[in-house]
Structure 1
Amino acid sequence: MPEQPPYPPTPQEVQEISSPEQFAALAHPLRQRLLFALGRRPATISQLAAHLETAKGNVAHHLKVLRTAGLVHVAETRQVRGGTEQYYQRVARRMIVAEPEAAGTAAMFGAVAQELDRSPAETHLTLRHLHLSPAKAQHLGETLARLIDETEEDAETEPVHGMLFALYQHAQLPEPGGSA
């Protein structure tokens, strides 16, 4: 394993999810929650296990999958009581899934559902279907993405809020009397 730098590297701003290994890694709710938890700062296996209320071995296994897929890396190591403690970090602050796959999307929604269930504050969850032209749908998507990107964050002492944005075209129903 290569030697780690003496300081944690700054995460990339955006990582596009495109490889089969990345899609497979995203197809489990705990791995999604690990990525959520690593969204702010590096953490150890013990810290993540306590935060997510699961076993350290479980966290270690899923971190290995995420690391192999290139979604997390060891940001720093520290010597503690005769051993080495590793701090894991997401490779990028934001991940874009250009062509979502069903398993990864289902895992992401499952992880978001678990996070919503654990939220100590009021949550907002809305599903709405709109009739939009392709141009208007593109404009709405770009506007919402820009709003998310341009939202200035408060100090790191403030609570973290999760956001999942999806804009998709509904599949068409078959015409009456037509075949499915």
Structure 2
Amino acid sequence: MPDQLPYQPPPEDVLEIGAPEQFAALAHPLRQRLLFALGHRPATTSQLAAQLDAKKGNVAHHLKVLREAGLIHIAETRQVRGGTEQYYQRTARHMIVARPQAAGTAAMLTAVAQELDRSPVDPHLTLRHLRLGPAQAKELGETLTRLVDEAEEDPEGQPLHGVLVALYQQASPTGTTSTTGTGDIASDITRTTGPA
């Protein structure tokens, strides 16, 4: 992207999502992808449209929704050819949704699927179902979070990689009270042709 601003961290480290307008803003895949894109550096509407292969007017609309919800802000403005160019940035490095809503989760997973489809290299994607007690599930969740949080980033110029970590308890089939069954037959799915 031309005329990039140097990296500058968002003003907040953590933002807890809880307001209705924030949930509404997160319920669209393009807005999720805009948040992904603004996770490392500020960018203009034109830069984001080019990066996400989206129409500039569409991007501008969704940026407005994100800004009104308090999820992004204008980090800097510059005068260019008689106009003002605005650089948008996330308001927080981490956004925590304590009580996820179905629409936001569906939009995020759709956004991730779109990112996977546009990846220039084959992604590594694994879905696995494990039988875990509450203590084991908690420990696994904390370990996965720590692993991602502690991953060292290479210097500028290296490709960005997305990491999605999800740990959830599967719902029991309706009318079933047994904890055993035959649901483990196809529980592991891995899609990758690149390095693990």
TM-score (norm 2): 0.83
| Letter of the structure 1 residue corresponding to residue 9 of structure 2 | T
Structure 1, unmatched stretches of 5+, are 1-6
State the percentage of identical aligned residues. 72
CA contact (8 A) 2:7 2:41 kept: no
Which residue of structure 1 aligns with residue 121 of structure 2? Answer: 121
| Letter of the structure 2 residue corresponding to residue 142 of structure 1 | E
Offset, 1:29: 0.5
Q: Where do 1:123-138 residues align within 5 Å? A: 123-138=123-138
Which residue of structure 2 aligns with residue 148 of structure 1? Answer: 148
Offset, 1:99: 1.2
Cα distance in structure 1, aligned partners of 2:163 and 2:7: 25
Distance 1:172 1:88, change over 3 A: same
Indicate yes or no: 2:2 matched with 1:35.
Answer: no
Cα distance in structure 1, aligned partners of 2:7 and 2:64: 19
Cα distance in structure 2, aligned partners of 1:148 and 1:171: 26
Indicate yes or no: 2:42 matched with 1:58.
Answer: no
Q: Where do 1:19-98 residues align within 5 Å? A: 19-98=19-98
Q: Which runs of 4+ in 1 moved over 3 A?
A: 7-10, 174-177
Offset, 1:85: 0.5
CA contact (8 A) 2:78 2:85 kept: yes
CA contact (8 A) 1:8 1:75 kept: no
CA contact (8 A) 1:13 1:94 kept: yes
SS at match of 1:109: helix
Which residue of structure 2 aligns with residue 10 of structure 1? Answer: 9
CA contact (8 A) 1:9 1:75 kept: no
SS at match of 1:113: helix
SS at match of 1:126: strand
Which residue of structure 2 aligns with residue 3 of structure 1? Answer: none
Cα distance in structure 2, aligned partners of 1:80 and 1:130: 55
CA contact (8 A) 2:14 2:93 kept: yes
The alignment's C-alpha RMSD in Å is 1.7
Cα distance in structure 2, aligned partners of 1:69 and 1:9: 21
Which residue of structure 2 aligns with residue 100 of structure 1? Answer: 100
CA contact (8 A) 2:76 2:88 kept: yes
Cα distance in structure 2, aligned partners of 1:81 and 1:45: 16
With 110-119 and 120-129 compared, the bigger mean Cα shift is at 120-129
Offset, 1:15: 1.7
Q: What whole-Å deviation, never above 9, does each CA across 1:76-115 have from its counterpart, x for those lacking one?
A: 0001111110000011122222111100000000000000
SS at match of 2:125: coil
With 129-138 and 9-18 compared, the bigger mean Cα shift is at 9-18
SS at match of 1:73: strand
Cα distance in structure 2, aligned partners of 1:168 and 1:15: 22
Offset, 1:55: 1.3
SS at match of 1:153: coil
